[in-house]
Structure 1
Amino acid sequence: MRQTSRTARGAAELDLGEAAIELLRARLPEIAGRTVTAIIVEVPGYTNALAGPMGAKIEGAVQFALGGFLRLASSGGPGTPLAPMLEGAYALGRGEARSGRSMDALLAAYRVGARVSWRELSRTAVEAGLPADTVAKFAELVFAYIDELSAASVSGHTDELATTGRVRERYLQALSRSLLHGDTSEHLIGKAEQADWDPPRTLTAVILPSAHLRGILGALDPRTLHPDDDLAELGEELLGEEDPAEVGVLLIPDADGSARTTLLRSLRGRQATVGPAQPWTTVRTSYLRALHARRLGLTAEADASVDTESHLATLVATSDPTALADLRRQVLAPLEDLRPATADRLTETLREWLLHLGRRDDVAAALHIHPQTVRYRMTQLRQLYGPRLDDPQVVLDLTIALSVSETAGPT
C-alpha cells in the first residue's frame, strides 16, 4: 500500500482543472450506480448478490474508491494518501472470499467496473472541455488506479482464503479426532457445523501406510476426513502399535453399497484395510474393526485391500483373544496327552471335517492326503471324543475354536 505508486506518480503529471473536478465529483453517484448495475448484469456471480442493502453498500464502496481517485487526481502530486482506498479494496477482497465468490468473479467485476467507470468518466471529461492529451493521461491514471485496487482486492481475497482454510482445517482435524474417540452425537454435530462440513449418511474408516495417502486423496469424495495432525494423541487404544509417522487414516463418506466396490478397486496396491460403512456418528466402530483386522495381520489376495466385510467370522471369533484361547484349550483337551505332531495332525483334520460337513473326499483334497487317511484319523478322533462329536454344542464350540489359526490375536 505504497503512496509512491504508479497511480500517485501519474497524478503528479495530470492537471484536470477545478471545473472538471467539480463536474466529475457531482457525477460520482450516477457513475457508481451505473457501474454496479453493469456488474450485476455482466458478472454471473454478482447477479443476486448486489440486490437490496448489499448493492447499496457496494455502490457506496465504488463511490468511495472513485472519490479517492478524484482527490488524488486533483492534488497534482503524491501528497494525497492512497492507502485508505487500497485498504478498502483489500477489505473488499476479504469480504468477497468470505461470501464464497471466486477470484475469477472478483476480477471480472473489476474489469467490468473499469470499463464502465472509464466510459462515464471520459464522457464527463470531454463534456468539461479537457484537451485530448489530458484525457489520454486521465485514462492512463484511471486504469493504473483500478489495477492497484484490484491487486489489493486479490491480496485480500487470497489472505482470507488462506486464513479461513487454516482455521477450517483445524476444525476438521478436531472433528476427525472426536469421531475416532466416539464422542456423543450432539458433540459431533456441533463440531461438523463449526467446520462447515456437510455430514454424509455413512463413513467408512480406511487404514493404510501414510506413503500411499497422497495418491488416493484426489480420487475420493471432497468431504473425506484425514486426521493427520497429532495422530499419536489417539493413543494405543486407537492406534495400536502402528507408528503415527507411517500410518494414515481416512474417513470416507457414503462408500457403501456399490460405492464400496469402487472404493476397494481404487485402493488396490495400497496395502489398505477397509472397515465397514457405519452411520457417520458411529464411524469409531468402523475404525476399530479395521484396526483389529490389522492387528490380526489379515491379508487379501494379490494386491487387493483387506475388506473387513470378508473376514467377519474371524473378527468375531477373535474379538476376545483370551476367551478364544480358553475355548480352544477346553475343546482340544482330549488331545492334550498325544505327541504334539500327532495332536496337530488330528486338530487340522478335525477342523477340515467340520468345515466340509464330514465330506471325506473334500477333507482329503483340502489336506492333500488320501481319503483313507482321513477315515483313519477320524476314527482316532471318535475314540478320543466319544459321542461328544455328535453333540451340537460341542460341534459349535469346536467350529468356533478352530475357525482361525491358533496364533490369531492382536499383533
Structure 2
Amino acid sequence: MTRRAGRDGPGAEGQGVVTAVRSAWREVPPYQVRQFAALAMDEVPTLAQDILREIRREYPQLPLIPDESGEPQALIGIRQSLEHFVEHMTAGLDRPHVHPRVFQEFGRGEGMQGRSLDALQAIYRLGVRLAWRRLAEIGQQVAIPAPAMYELAESGFEYLDGLVAESVRGYAEAAARQAGERLRLQRRLMEQLFAGDPEAVAGGGAGTPHAPKAMGEGGGDPVSALAEVAARIGWPLPERVAVAVLLRPAREAVAPAVASDVLLDMECERPRLVVPEPDAPGRRELLARAAAGWSGAIGPVVPLLDAAKSLRWAGAAVGLVERGLLPAGELLQCTEHTEALVLLPPEELIDDLTRRRLAPLTRCGPTHGRRLAETLLAWLETRGGAPEVAARLGVHPQTVRYRLRQIRELWGWEMDDPDRRFELELVLRARRLRGELD
C-alpha cells in the first residue's frame, strides 16, 4: 500500500514523493493468514446459509430466484462473495478486488421490477455486518492482531462498495434497456394511432388537412390492437386525445418535460405528442409550461381513433408557423386559429379565386387598390354604413363614402350577390392573414 507525502515530507524538497504505508495485515505471519483463510473458507457454506436466513428474516419480501440447478441466486451470490473475499485476503489486501458478476444480476433484477436500489444496499450492509462478526471470531481464534483485523474490516467495506457498484451497473443497464423498450413501444403505439394517414406516420407534413381512412378499416379491431401495445407501457386508453407537432428550437434541444401519460416521439423531424383527455382541468397549462421555448401547435380534441385528424391539423398549423403566418415561440391551439387554417393552406385555390374576384383592383394603383380592398373588407365584415366602416378603419366617414362609391363602380352587381360577397370576404381575409392588408 502506498501514499504520496506532502510538500514538506522528508527529502521531498517541496515536491510530492511516494512513500510506503505500513500494512498491519502484511506483518501477520503467512502461516496465520493461511490458518485464518482455511477456517474462514470452511465456514463459508454455513455462513452463507446463516446470512441468507437472517436477511430473509429482516427482509421477507426479498424474492428467492433459483438458478438452473434450483439453488437460490441470492445464496450463490453470498457464497461467491465470501469465497472471493477470503481469496483476496489471502493474496494480499492491496490486490484489486474481484466481484461476482451475479451482483450485476441483482441490480438488473431490481431495475426490471421498477424498484430502487435502497433495499438492496441495506441487504448488502446487513450481510457484510454478519460476515464480519464471524470473521472477527475466527481472527480471535487464530490470534490475528487487532490492527490487522481493523485493516481487514476496512478492506471488507471497500469490497462492499464494489458489490454495490456492480449492482448499480446492472441496474443502470436494465433501466436503459427498459427505457429503450418503452420508447420503441410508445413509437409503435403512436404509429398505430396515426395509421389512417401515411403522411402522418412519416412525420406530419404541412398541407391541407384531409379526412384519413378510419383506423382498422379493412379488417381487425383497432381498439384491441391499440390496447395490447398500450398495456405493455401502462398507458390507459383515453376516450379523447389531441395531437401536437413541435418545431425544434435547436438540434440538441432537450425534450419537453411532459407528464408521464403524454406520448412523446422525438425521433421525427417534427417531434409529436399525443395528449390524453386534453380538456382535463389544468392539462393545457401544464402542457404549455412543459413546451416552453418550443414552437408548435396542438390539434383539435378528437376521439382516440381519429388521432390522425388532430395530427393533420397540428401539422398544417406548424407549416404556417414555419412560413411566418402564425406566431412562433409558443404552443398554439389550432382551434384558436381556425380562420388561418381554413384559408391559408389551400393556396392555389385561394390565389386563383383572388385573381378572379379582385381583378377590378388592377385598374387602380397599388396604394389606392390596397385602401379600397381594406374598405371593402371592413364593409363586408360590418355591413354597416359609412360611420361604422370609418370607425373600423380610423378614417373620416366622407372618405369611406367616396371609396364605397368607387367600389360599387368597380364591382357593380357583384356587390348585391350573396355568393360573390362571400367569396370576396374569403379572399380579402386571406390577404389580411398573409399581412397584405391591415
User: If the length of structure 1 is used for normalisation, what is the TM-score?
Assistant: 0.70
Is the contact between residue 37 and residue 90 of structure 2 (CA under 8 Å) also seen in structure 1?
A: no
Following superposition, the deviation at residue 292 of structure 1 comes to 3.2
**Alignment partner of 2:370 out of 329, 344, 347:** 344
Give me the identity figure in percent. Answer: 25
1:291-322 CA distances to partner (integer Å, 9 max, x unpaired)?
A: 23225522449x76654332211211223211
Alignment gaps of 5+ in structure 2: 1-25, 202-214, 217-221
* 1-structure distance, mates of 2:268, 2:297: 22
**Alignment partner of 2:121 out of 107, 111, 128:** 107
* 2-structure distance, mates of 1:212, 1:361: 53
Is 2:287 the counterpart of 1:210? no
* 2-structure distance, mates of 1:86, 1:95: 15
1:10-68 CA distances to partner (integer Å, 9 max, x unpaired)?
A: 9x83633766654553353233121233234xxxxxx4xx357689x998233223333
In structure 1, the partner of 2:299 is 276
* 2-structure distance, mates of 1:194, 1:261: 27
Once the two structures are superposed, the pairs formed by residues 83-162 of structure 1 within 5 Å of their partners are 86-119=100-133, 121=134, 125=138, 129=141, 131=143, 133=145, 136=149, 139=153, 142-162=156-176
Is the contact between residue 38 and residue 112 of structure 1 (CA under 8 Å) also seen in structure 2?
A: no
User: If the length of structure 2 is used for normalisation, what is the TM-score?
Assistant: 0.66
Following superposition, the deviation at residue 118 of structure 1 comes to 4.0
Is the contact between residue 224 and residue 251 of structure 1 (CA under 8 Å) also seen in structure 2?
A: yes
* 1-structure distance, mates of 2:186, 2:413: 60
1:300-359 CA distances to partner (integer Å, 9 max, x unpaired)?
A: 49x766543322112112232111122223333455545555443322211111112324
Moved more, 353-362 or 335-344: 335-344
Alignment gaps of 5+ in structure 1: 1-8, 41-46, 232-247
Is the contact between residue 84 and residue 99 of structure 2 (CA under 8 Å) also seen in structure 1?
A: no
* 2-structure distance, mates of 1:103, 1:388: 78
Is the contact between residue 24 and residue 124 of structure 1 (CA under 8 Å) also seen in structure 2?
A: no
In structure 1, the partner of 2:205 is none
Following superposition, the deviation at residue 395 of structure 1 comes to 2.4
* 1-structure distance, mates of 2:374, 2:37: 105
Is 2:235 the counterpart of 1:198? yes
* 1-structure distance, mates of 2:56, 2:70: 7
CA separation of 1:16/1:60 partners in 2, compared to 1, >3 Å: closer, same or farther?
farther
1:215-270 CA distances to partner (integer Å, 9 max, x unpaired)?
A: 7724x324555544463xxxxxxxxxxxxxxxx635263483443245446666x4
CA separation of 1:256/1:359 partners in 2, compared to 1, >3 Å: closer, same or farther?
farther
* 2-structure distance, mates of 1:215, 1:145: 38
In structure 2, the partner of 1:43 is none
3-state secondary structure, aligned to 2:430: coil
Q: Pairwise CA RMSD of aligned residues?
A: 4.7
Once the two structures are superposed, the pairs formed by residues 232-251 of structure 1 within 5 Å of their partners are 249-251=271-273
Higher relative helix content = 1
Letter in 1 for 2:256: L
Following superposition, the deviation at residue 371 of structure 1 comes to 0.6
CA separation of 1:318/1:83 partners in 2, compared to 1, >3 Å: closer, same or farther?
same
Following superposition, the deviation at residue 117 of structure 1 comes to 4.5
3-state secondary structure, aligned to 1:15: helix
* 2-structure distance, mates of 1:74, 1:340: 95
In structure 2, the partner of 1:61 is 73
In structure 1, the partner of 2:200 is 182
